[in-house]
Structure 1
């Protein structure tokens, strides 16, 4: 085997490992956010230990299936370097207005990477202290923004090709910590809609 072939094989292994790390982070981040924001009843979640934290993961079969499908698709597109942006959307269940958007934009020891991911997930968990109450029925969705070179016929039928769903004008944006696998840099944050203040007169 030539030196070039060995290097190509090593790069492929590194890329696969980096993709797996990102996909696992995305999976736990989705479950953490929908739990923290009260999108589904807390009794439909179970505790799991990961990244040195106690995280909550949905036990609902339909939610687990949706997240697993999203994670599989994320792995495929990240490994092919097709993803520009990946967002988790919180939307009004009736109007589908986007109320919040969590973003993840795409050689260290694995322990260091996991510690960095743990720090990001701690920030996601603590964000509940400043995010506005979602006082209406909400749903969530996953949105991929792909590179312009991706042809429509290469998008699986299960995924709709739509215009990017944007936040209302002038959202509040809070950046979270970044982490890097050495091959991929992930910058996370949350944008949310500020509710208009209501005045009351006697």
Structure 2
């Protein structure tokens, strides 16, 4: 049996697993840092040399776990183009934050599903660590969410991609008059990711 990952190389399946793992910790970090759920509904977990917060809320887990399984499946099928977490005010439905993760998949069809690309997994995990550090640090410059908010996750895939029956189509949930903050990127050598966090502008026009 071909190994999914070796120390200095990675294949499509192994890359999908690593990116899914990033989204697991990344989405949880955003939810915790932006206080969308009570702090006591998160538990500490050591990963990438960091202490990260992950939810143990049953309803939230029931949403996130199948979502991330589907994300991993589409990553392995080279279908996933973008994942976006949208934060909206409950009362007005106005989008106040849009965390956008753009995904590029290398053309590995000619190499076969189990072909390995060369990149040290330790280096990949360090790059993921750097992104998660930035998400944690974002609290220092993001505006406070003063109104009750909710979140949703938008998935962009290739054409003719079959989605689960309980998923629905959505608009882009864009933000007008927004400020954009560019976060670090990381690459597994199979999947590369550019991350863009788009935040509703708090600047007021001069009178």
Instruction: Bin the TM-score by the shorter chain.
Output: 0.7 to 0.9
Larger radius of gyration: 1
Task: Give 1 or 2: higher helix fraction.
Answer: 1
Tell me the distance in 2 between the aligned counterparts of 1:196 and 1:184: 36
Residues matched between the structures, number: 185
Taking only aligned residues, the RMSD between alpha carbons, in angstroms, comes to: 1.9
Q: Which has the higher contact order (CA 8 A, sep 6+)?
A: 2
Matches within 5 A, 1:81-160: 81-106=78-103, 107-147=118-158, 149-151=159-161, 154-160=162-168
> Is residue 172 from structure 1 mapped to residue 183 from structure 2 by the alignment?
no
- Residue of structure 2 in register with 1:183 after alignment: 190
Runs of 5+ unmatched residues, structure 2: 3-9, 104-117
Point out 4+ residue stretches in structure 1 off by more than 3 angstroms. Answer: 195-199
Tell me the distance in 2 between the aligned counterparts of 1:141 and 1:162: 10
- Does the 8 Å contact 2:131/2:184 carry over to 1? yes
The structural deviation recorded for 1:197 is 4.1
Runs of 5+ unmatched residues, structure 1: 1-5, 7-12
- Does the 8 Å contact 1:113/1:179 carry over to 2? yes
Q: Deviation per CA, 1:151-201, whole angstroms, max 9, x where unpaired?
A: 5xx22112101222212x2311111111000101011121110236499xx
- Residue of structure 2 in register with 1:162 after alignment: 170
